Amino acid sequence: MPNSGKKVCFMTGASGKLGAEIALAVAGQGYSIFFTWGHSEEKAKETLEKVRWVSPESQMVQCDVSKVDEIEQAFTAFSDHFDRLDLLITSASNFYRTNLLEVSEQDWDSLIDTNLKGTFFTMQAAARIMTKQPFVSRIITMTDISAGMVWRNYAPYTVSKSGIQHLTRIFARETAPNILVNSIAPGTISAYPIRADEPEANLLDKIPLQRFGDPMDIVGAIRFLMESEYITGQIINVDGGRLLY
Ligand SMILES: NC(=O)c1ccc[n+]([C@@H]2O[C@H](COP(=O)([O-])OP(=O)(O)OC[C@H]3O[C@@H](n4cnc5c(N)ncnc54)[C@H](OP(=O)(O)O)[C@@H]3O)[C@@H](O)[C@H]2O)c1
């Protein structure tokens, strides 16, 4: 085992726009990173290269999180490399617009299987390791403020994120006190395309802090949850106050 003593993070979706920033930040906190990618090998390689600048023993593996056998294989590969699991971050996510009356079975399965089913079985596999360890570990799920809103044209996506928020509370209760389980729900992050179907100008009018979020706002919330010892089962909305409207 190359990392004896060093804390280890298993992360899904580290090849994503925000996911890559999170992986880098966690590595910067002194963690080894083991992350999965689904379809974007080049982006995954870029993330791994950057993560290895600070955490050379970090590893990645391909894993379609909508398939339970691939999640199991990823955890087997993880165990070949690392002998402890301190932090799970579930960031893998599928996101696209779906008109309510035209949602197909394929759309439903794609969004729900990747986001909700994938998150559940990843949390389950991690919890099986974490609950046997003689120290407290953490799970952070990545959701979305839309989980608590009624967005037009995103029914399967918002239902999937809502389900993950409930899973967060369920795992927090059932795995306490071994595992602290919380969720980060980002609002609109400025570096990326606007996610709602609202015009950008109107959207800014509904953000009390009068700016879109920065990836570092999300990273700050992740770091906070990595340090905290008395918070579990919570959804932290990092949205500039958007949910106050
Ligand atoms: N960015 C935002 O503005 C924002 C706002 C609200 C919530 N969030 C949430 O924050 C998290 C990170 O966002 P992001 O910007 O990094 O998202 P993103 O750029 O869309 O990246 C999505 C990630 O999920 C992975 N993924 C998708 N389908 C997969 C599958 N079937 N199996 C395995 N991996 C799969 C992708 O990997 P591959 O490309 O390799 O398949 C990629 O790493 C997500 O959970 C997202 O819902 C983001």
Q: Known catalytic residues?
A: 157
> How many angstroms separate the alpha carbon of residue 7 from the centre of ligand 1?
24
Residue 202 has what pLDDT? 79
Total-model pTM: 0.97
H or E segment and range at residue 166 = helix 155-175
Give the count of beta carbons closer than 10 Å to the beta carbon of residue 123.
24
Residue 149 domain-assigned (yes or no)? yes
CATH code of the domain in which 191 resides: 3.40.50.720
The response to whether residue 215 sits with its C-beta less than 6 Å from ligand 1 reads no
Ligand 1 near 39 CB (within 6 A): yes
Atom in ligand 1 nearest the alpha carbon of residue 44: 40
Q: Whose CA is nearest to atom 13 of ligand 1?
A: 18
Domains contained in the chain, number: 1
14 close to 86: Cβ distance less than 8 angstroms: no
**pLDDT at position 165, please?**
98
Report the C-alpha gap between 74 and 62 in whole angstroms.
8
Alpha carbon of 13 to ligand 1 centroid (Å): 5
Angstrom CA distances, 3 to 7, 28, 33, stand at 8, 15, 10
Q: Is residue 1 part of a domain?
A: no
- Cβ–ligand 1 distance for 116 under 6 Å, the answer no
Give the helix, strand, coil percentages of the chain, each rounded to 5. Answer: 45, 15, 35
Within a domain: residue 134? yes
Domain extent at residue 181: 8-244
Virtual torsion, Cα 16, 22, 23, 26, nearest 10 deg: -170
Res 203: pLDDT: 84
- 180 within some domain: yes
Reading the chain (245 residues) residue by residue, the pLDDT tens digits are 555 689 999 999 999 999 999 999 999 999 999 999 999 999 999 999 999 999 999 999 999 999 999 999 999 999 999 999 999 999 999 999 999 999 999 999 999 999 999 999 999 999 999 999 999 999 999 999 999 999 999 999 999 999 999 999 999 999 999 999 999 999 999 766 665 555 556 788 899 999 999 999 999 999 999 999 999 999 999 999 999 98
H or E segment and range at residue 74: helix 68-81
Cβ 143 vs Cβ 166: under 8 Å: no
